[in-house]
A and B are shown apart, each in its own frame.
Chain A
Amino acid sequence: MSEHGIEVTVNGHRHAARVEARTSLGEFLREGLGYTGTHLGCEHGVCGACTVMVDGAAVRSCLMLAVQVDGAQITTIEGLAEADGTLHPVQQALRDNFGLQCGFCTPGIAISLACVMQEEAGAGEGARENALVRAMSGHICRCTGYQGIRRAIRQLSGHQPAADEAEAVA
């Protein structure tokens, strides 16, 4: 099995490592670097749980090889919040709206939505909401029925909560 040297920056920290050519980015992050917040749910690119940010783009870390990220800037779920612990708006919206239950699929969802928020920063409410929902079509959640995630998306799109939801975001 061929091995290759790579250098990556993960959540602002630089790492140098030797990886087997076949090692997926997800496995490298988990096993090689200890970023176990990245979860491998299907390892064939459907469920989206393993999504991480590579140079600003949402990537399924089960389908990308570690050797492909040489020189890249990577953000995992561990690096999404501010250094002082302040949650990223996506994390906060999921928390405010019961957007997670078991939490296994959550890191990938949070990263995907955070990428859209970055890409659609200048977009209007409707366009941003559509883009966020579209991003969710690449994620499977078995617990929530997507209800809290939809509410979180509405919050992120700047909607005022409906009267019966006001309590939820108080």
Chain B
Amino acid sequence: MNVQTKSVGAARYVGSRQPRKEDGRLLTGRGQFTDDVRLPGMLHVAFVRSAVARGRIVSIELEAAREMPGVHAILTQADLATVPVKMLSFFFTPIESPVTLLADGRVACVGDPVVMVIAHSRAQAEDAASLVEVVVDEETPLVTIADAKTGPLVHPGREDNIAAEMGDEDALEAIQPLLDDCAHVVSTRIRHQRIAQSPMEGRACVASPDGAEEMTVWMGCQSPHLAARYLTQALGMPQEGIRVVARDVGGGFGLKNIPWREEMAVVVAAKILRRSVKWIEDRFESLTASSHAREQDTALTLGLDKDGRFQAAWCDYACNNGAWPMGEDANIAVHMFMWPAYRLPAYGFVTRGWYTNTMGLGAYRGPWAMESLVRETLIDKAARRIGVDPVELLRRNLLYLEDQPHTSSMGIPVEDITPGECLEKLMANIDYAAFRREQAEARVEGRYLGIGFATYIEPTGSAGSMAPMTGETVQLRIEPTGKVVAMLSTHSQGHGTATTMAQVIAEQLGVAYEEITVYEGDSAIGAFSPGAAGSRQGVIAGGATWQAARMLADKVRAVAAHLSNASVDAVSIEGGMVHIIGAPEMSRSLREIAEIAYGEPARLPEGAASGLEAQYRYQPPPMTMTSAAHCAMVEVDAETGFVTILRWIGAEDCGTVINPGVVEGQIAGGLAQAIGQVLLEDMPYDARGNPLAATFKDYLMPSISDVPDFEYLHASTPSRTIGGMRGVGEGGCIIGPPTLVNAIADALSPFGEIDELVLPLTPARIVDVIEGRDVSGTRVHWQALEAVPAGGDEAAAPPSAEPGQAAGIDGDWNMVLKTPMGPQAMVAHFDTVGEAVSGYLEAPEGRQDFAGGTLSGDRLKFEMKVEKPMKITLKYDLRFDGAHFSGKCKMGMFGSAKVFGERA
């Protein structure tokens, strides 16, 4: 056992299924969700949204709405613009699209908020909103990624419709010869549908200006701290101190990572009107006008040697960013985490995000999950192609503990991942041979059973390399009553952090679980953390709580030893009682110790602070890896294409399991969402840019009959963090899709391959494979969508080059480097001596010099070593054209990033 997991108290709470602390209020209707907040004089918002996907706003007619009873104010972008707002991404970098809180002269997607109606009741606001008339000069929208490549600019003034990109096609030159040498080369293409995150509680916000110095905001969010920081930075450090409270939130799943346009508009309206303002998103808005996720088009090619060992791979990835992404994104993480669980010598990629006239891209549980889906489904296909068992092919290429430390072809170091061990644990718990026999017998009867496997690793508990990804703080005290109170930087949208953190405290402090009260969900307590973002709270807050409880136990023991004239080593705390070894008569309750610590400081040891408090902020290792292997067994009805899941079993390694009930709940929730993605959920758009799933009758959420009973195997290899936890929040949603697709593909294998995986795998699309023809009409549909002639409103012409100004490159330039986390602005300074170039790059974070660059003609090349987010050498290759330059920066494992600049 890891020494850090040794308990101070005797009772074992870590690892037990303690009933959740959250459930008492949630089961009795006493929770406080944002819509439950009622303030005197509070006003209600209804948004008027664009029904047109693209065009210029000709007029907005507000008079009829203004006449309606109860209407307090009607605001457009011109009104909101009196309060400057700079929208930011999750990484606190600027949004590159010209996003405003309400539409500013143009609309770029159906659902774009145009007008904000504010009335004394929600019903009055909706009545008035229905009378607002927005006239738009409609233009032909770009809907698909294919449209974006050829169509007019979504955002006039930009160079093209590429929202973000890394890598380029040139990199294939290095990979292609390796693929050419391979005995087997397999390829796949996946068109992933658009997903609506669909938390059961939509977005919600109440903003209350409490005088000139304070603003309290109740918001459905994933971290009150992150929301408060976002609001403060987006509003340019307003005079008010902003406090965000989120007691109960009905699910987040990535959608609520950051406040977005509507929440910001509510806060700004409250500032302008000096009144409390509430907005509660309804389901129609939640489905069609909350940020969407996952729409991707991915092609992956893998080369294997004659023994089935991976040699090289190439990926071409594209995702639909919509018009107003919550951060332009080319999803670099897909490529970073595609191969670290495997031995693969060479990998190259090009990855792009595209603007279209659809709702913007947001995060969704495991945003990079495509890496597992495309890799695991391709490996499964490769096994059938080569004629090797899929489990055997995994074994030949997976990393086991004995193979580590290992560095991936993208430069990701792994030292304690266990995908291979998870696979072996999984195989030890299923009778694979028996299933294959049953499958063969069933086929004779015309029944089609299938089995699918998938393995993966997941980066969790990230801290210290990206602005929002930080440590966690716990403030812990024993009150004079003997009660234990913890105030945490965490937030639960169902995660049960109050429960798991109380278990850690109970065990480390030696008190009963029931004696502990945990407060979280308020930016006024704890300190900054991004909350539920990146499967991190159990790892980092767990470590913080572990350490703080030990610090507090040490203080109790020191006080008790002093009072009893005993050695500290002789003091133990169990069940809320403080014992002295060998002197049972000297036992005291924690309450007695606490009363002395607060009320009689003269009795404390020399120099000891009064009270019984501890605070700790834990900064864990930069990343903690979780591994898993899953297996699904299905039956596919060859007549109807209907899939029945017969069994699903998974072996995951999330290190120390604080509460199996909570861990399994996270895995199960992710797997249910995976089943939804593979079989049911879809947010399609028509060619005019209308979202076609407007209710839960159109958007099919998994119900109890779609989800089987899952079986869990916990591998529990302690990580290197305090407490040994690994994150588990997103994994089910990442490993679930390939597991299920592979089971279906195995069942369908007598009929043929799923050549191009189009999700969801509806019964009709499964019948396509069974009948070997386009029964579902999917191909016809894609061809029709992709053949829509692009509107000719604005040509995607490159900006006209200005005539050259001063010759030479010496001096200062304003430069932008488009990093995977967003654009980074800096000043570049160059000094030339002949062809030799030196200089520096300067950003708010600091200045870094370089030398040894070369200028040949209009082309400058130089290199610079950086430490953050990790140690890499940046290789710049820039071409100058008068007062402008543009080019690329090779960023090691991240591939190439665009760079451009102009004379300062």
Contact = CB atoms under 8 A, between A and B. Distances in A.
Interface of A: 20, 22-23, 30, 35-44, 46-47, 49, 76-78, 80-81, 87, 91, 94-96, 98, 100-107, 110, 133, 136-137, 139-150, 167-168, 170
B704 A136 contact: yes
A162 to B, nearest CB: 10
Contacts of B495: 101
B358 interface: no
A100 B703 CA distance: 15
A37 B696 contact: no
Given A102-B248, A103-B494, A167-B17, A77 B672 contact: no
Contacts of A78: 28-30
B28 A101 contact: no
Contact of A101 (B27, B494, B703): B494
Contact of B665 (A81, A133, A147): A147
A91 B20 CA distance: 13
B60 interface: no
Nearest to B280: A40
Contacts of A35: 29
B695 interface: yes
Contacts of A96: 19
24 contacts: A37-B28, A39-B33, A39-B201, A44-B696, A49-B200, A81-B28, A87-B28, A91-B28, A94-B23, A100-B27, A102-B200, A102-B249, A102-B494, A103-B23, A103-B27, A103-B494, A104-B248, A106-B26, A133-B705, A137-B704, A140-B696, A143-B494, A147-B710, A150-B704
A101 B665 contact: yes
B23 A95 contact: yes
B27 A142 contact: no
A104 B33 contact: yes
B704 A149 contact: yes
Given A103-B22, A103-B250, A145 B283 contact: no
A42 B695 contact: yes
A141 B200 contact: yes
B608 to A, nearest CB: 40
B668 A140 contact: no
Contacts of A46: 695-697
| Top 10 A-B residue pairs of the complex, sorted by shortest distance between their CB atoms | A37-B29, A103-B26, A104-B250, A101-B494, A102-B494, A145-B672, A145-B668, A77-B29, A46-B696, A36-B36
B665 A38 contact: no
A94 B282 CA distance: 27
A20 B495 CA distance: 39
Given A35-B29, A102-B248, A104-B201, A168 B703 contact: no
A143 B31 contact: no
A102 B250 contact: yes
A136 B705 CA distance: 9
A168 B19 CA distance: 8
B701 A142 contact: yes
B707 interface: yes
Contact of B704 (A94, A106, A107, A133): A133
A117 to B, nearest CB: 15
Contacts of A30: 35
B494 A98 contact: no
Nearest to B676: A142
Interface of B: 16-17, 19-20, 22-31, 33, 35-36, 123, 198-201, 248-251, 253, 282-283, 492-496, 660-662, 664-665, 668-673, 695-697, 701-705, 707, 709-710, 732
A140 B701 contact: yes
Contact of A107 (B29, B35, B664): B29
A42 B283 CA distance: 5
Contacts of A38: 29
Contacts of B199: 102, 104, 142
Contacts of B283: 41-44, 47
Contact of A145 (B17, B696, B707): B707
A12 to B, nearest CB: 15
Max chain B Cβ within 10 angstroms of own Cβ: one of A37, A81, A101, A144: A101
B493 A102 contact: yes
Max chain B Cβ within 10 angstroms of own Cβ: one of A22, A38, A147: A147
Contact of B669 (A22, A142, A168): A142
A170 B17 contact: yes
Contacts of B673: 142
Contacts of B492: 102
A98 B664 CA distance: 9
Given A44-B696, A106-B26, A148-B665, A101 B672 contact: no
Contacts of B696: 42, 44, 46-47, 140
Nearest to B25: A103
A141 B672 CA distance: 10
Max chain B Cβ within 10 angstroms of own Cβ: one of A39, A42, A77, A137: A42
B661 A168 contact: yes
A23 B124 CA distance: 12
Contacts of B704: 133, 136-137, 139, 146, 149-150
Nearest to A140: B701
Given A36-B33, A95-B23, A150-B704, 7 more contacts: A37-B31, A77-B27, A101-B251, A104-B250, A104-B251, A143-B200, A144-B668
